[in-house]
Structure 1
Amino acid sequence: MRLSDDQVRQFQEEGWLFLPETFSAEEVAALREEAEAIYAANRPEIWREKSGAPRTAFAAHTYNEAFRLLGAHPRLIEPIEQLFGEQLYMHQFKINAKAAFTGDVWQWHQDYGTWLRDDGMPEPRAMNIAVFLDEVMPINGPLMLIPRSQAHGNLQAGHDLSTTSYPLWTLDDAVVTELVQEGGIVAPTGKPGGVLMFHGNLVHGSAPNITPYPRKIVYLTLNAVSNHIRKPTRPDWIAHQDFTPILPVPDDALTQYARRYRQAAE
């Protein structure tokens, strides 16, 4: 799958792009069931809110077949190879949950700030690809983006170790206010199967989910192979140190898996 010239232009100017209905209902249904099973497991890769609700499941592509296929899917790999002009490896893979009623805040931050400070990534030549597993609505804690904020480069940040169960390099309120006055805020919403891609320096965050509607999103962080991390400080299941280029699977690989999965359950 390749991006059109208009899509490339929007991404370069705004720092983000939403691609609705990239994955079918059949593909998403299998992924959603697998995600629930992963959240129920007792593994070190699964981080929980202070309430005990699941927050993030790291590295699922290393131990789950459905997410392995998603992590090498051409609908995700090919557009980023197009933008970067080279092969990619998986820097990070996580399934983020905003559990109904208890899903907590993600403070305003830039992802590249963490990749630089904690992992030693030389340049912001890594991309976040978000795959919606549930419907993302204006009311259930959607990701909020500040358009064009990526143009400001890597901003000064403080290491927040207390607000939530997950440590984050967060931005000062005054900085966020200035960026919002310039670029506004958008909150892309859509049906399961939609894909959101955004620049590593794009400022983003999300509010708590106090609704009955859960919101699960899979995030792939795809990094240019030449831009591999130099000084990792985090466990390998958070910041991967296998820089082998991803070889895309066939386009129907996840569909075939979903059908086998459904047949086995019948």
Structure 2
Amino acid sequence: MTVIDNYPTRLDRPAPPIPRIEPTVWGTAYDGPLDQAALHGFAEQGYVSRPATVPDDWLPPLRRELERLGDRLPGDDPRVIREPGGGVRSVFQPHLLSDLIAQVIRLDTVLPVARQLLGSEVYIHQARINFMPGFTGAGFYWHSDFETWHAEDGMPAIRAVSCSIALTDNHSHNGPLMLMPGSHRTFYPCVGRTPENHHARSLVRQDIGVPSREVLTGIAERCGITQFTGPAGTALWFDANVMHGSAPNITPFPRSNIFLVFNSVENALTDPFAAERPRPEFLAARESRVDLGPEPPGPGRDLGRVLPVDRV
């Protein structure tokens, strides 16, 4: 079956922006916990912040779990992405390594929101934990996630949403996520062919699949830039195509988060649109199976049960 590429990218020369085809919000206020005002804000801005997404009593066990995974996974595990200086930057597939992290997906404040925004059943396209330690935490350059997922994973349509759950307080000074509100309405093709095994480098520093400085300047002048700040436990939901990035953290205050990407089961991956072969499974699940982990614990149950790091 031939799949039409509505968002060509990784081109030989600059190309004009492409207006988004798909809606941003697929469900209604009757389909989940977000009211009409929140849905309207998401449609207009491309993101919405949800305080108290993770209960306070979950935060200490989750922080310990992040440290456990970062410290105990073997150094040659491809799911562990390290900074050039050696520190852990990200750990992928944490929901397959920890029941506790898997349970976060099924919280009433998480999974129903994903289903509501995408208007369908969903599955985990990608999951990771991100570390931004004090003084040395590196940033993420401006990019649209969908550009990479389309080019290198074969995601055909903009029908995915990300949920970044802060496990530490996010201040304006410790490298919080920055977004360009409204930028999700337009797809910006990028210049440059995808190198072989591009993911091995792009997860540390991304040079391919990012707009030029001139394009970014124009987007910022039209849309402005906002920061995601708030206490630990807050979740930022943002559209797959919104332009975002973060600055380095040179403060003493670390920042860490659980990052979940939900894709609609009606938006299953195809062959990559601008890469020789798909990225590994830990970066992009190629089967749209609805396997969202165990139910969250009820009252009185232990939050600390974890799985061996060598389970998978």
Instruction: State the TM-score, normalizing by the size of structure 2.
Output: 0.78
Q: Which residue of 2 aligns with 1:228?
A: 268
CA contact (8 A) 1:92 1:222 kept: yes
Aligned length: 261
**2:252 aligned residue:** 212
**Structure 2 residue 46 is the aligned partner of structure 1 residue 3:** no
Mapping of 1:233-248 within 5 angstroms? 233-246=278-291
Cα-to-partner distance string for 1:185-205 (whole Å, 9 max, x where unaligned): 000101110000001110000
Greater CA drift, 69-78 or 164-173 = 164-173
What is the identity, as a one-letter code, of the residue corresponding to 2:183? S
| 1:264 aligned partner | none
Q: Computing the radius of gyration over CA atoms, which structure comes out larger, 1 or 2?
A: 2
Q: 2:52 aligns with which of 18, 21, 27?
A: 21
Query: Residues of 1 paired with 2:188 and 2:123: CA distance?
Result: 22
For the residues of structure 1 that align with 2:190 and 2:298, how far apart are their CA atoms?
Answer: 42
CA-CA distance at 1:83 after TM superposition = 1.9
Given residue 38 of structure 1, which amino acid in structure 2 is its aligned partner?
Answer: L
In 2, distance between residues paired with 1:254 and 1:175? 51
How far the C-alpha of 1:154 sits from its partner, in A, is 4.3
In 1, Cα distance between equivalents of 2:296 and 2:99:
15
Task: Kindly provide the amino acid, as one letter, of the partner of residue 244 in structure 2.
Answer: H
State the alpha-carbon separation in 1 of the partners of residues 299 and 213 from structure 2: 42
Q: 8 Å contact 1:110–1:201 — kept in the other structure?
A: yes
Aligned-partner residue type, residue 118 of structure 2: F
State the Cα distance separating 1:29 from its structure 2 match. 1.4
Give 1 or 2: higher helix fraction.
Answer: 1
Question: Quick check: 1:142–1:187 contact (8 Å CA) kept in 2?
Answer: yes
Q: What amino acid does structure 2 have at the position aligned with 1:109?
A: H
CA distance in 1, matches of 2:43, 2:190: 22
Shift of 1:152: 1.1
> Identity, % of aligned pairs?
31
Cα pair distance change 1:72/1:246, threshold 3 Å:
farther
Indicate the larger mover: 125-134 or 158-167: 158-167
TM-score, length basis structure 1: 0.91
Distance between the aligned counterparts of 1:163 and 1:238, measured in 2? 12
Aligned to 1:258: 303
CA distance in 1, matches of 2:114, 2:143: 22
- Please state how far the C-alpha of 1:76 moved relative to its aligned partner: 1.1
Q: Give the residue type in structure 1 aligned to 2:239.
A: H
Deviation track 1:107-163 (CA, whole Å, cap 9, x = no partner) reads: 000000000001000101010000001111111100000000001124325569768
SS of the equivalent of 2:262 reads strand
**Aligned-partner SS, 1:74:** coil
* Structure 1 runs not aligned, ≥5 long: 262-266
* Distance in structure 2 (CA, Å) of the matches to 1:170 and 1:255: 47
Deviations 1:155-182 (CA, angstroms, capped at 9, x unpaired): 3255697687244622211111111111
> What residue in structure 2 maps to residue 106 of structure 1?
140
The change in CA–CA distance for 1:107 and 1:86 in structure 2 (over 3 A counts) is same
Matches within 5 A, 1:1-266: 2-41=33-72, 42=74, 43-158=77-192, 165-167=204-206, 169-231=209-271, 233-246=278-291, 250=295, 252-253=297-298, 256-258=301-303
Taking structure 1 as reference, are residues 3 and 251 closer, same or farther at Cα in structure 2, changes over 3 Å only? farther
Aligned-pair distance for 1:53?
A: 1.2
Unaligned runs of 5+ in 2: 1-31, 273-277, 307-312
Give CA-to-partner distance per residue, 1:194-250, whole Å, 9 cap, x none: 000001110000001111111001110000001011126111111112311245755
The offset of 1:59, in angstroms, is 0.4
Offset of 1:103 from its aligned partner?
0.9
Q: Distance in 2 between matches of 1:204 and 1:257?
A: 36
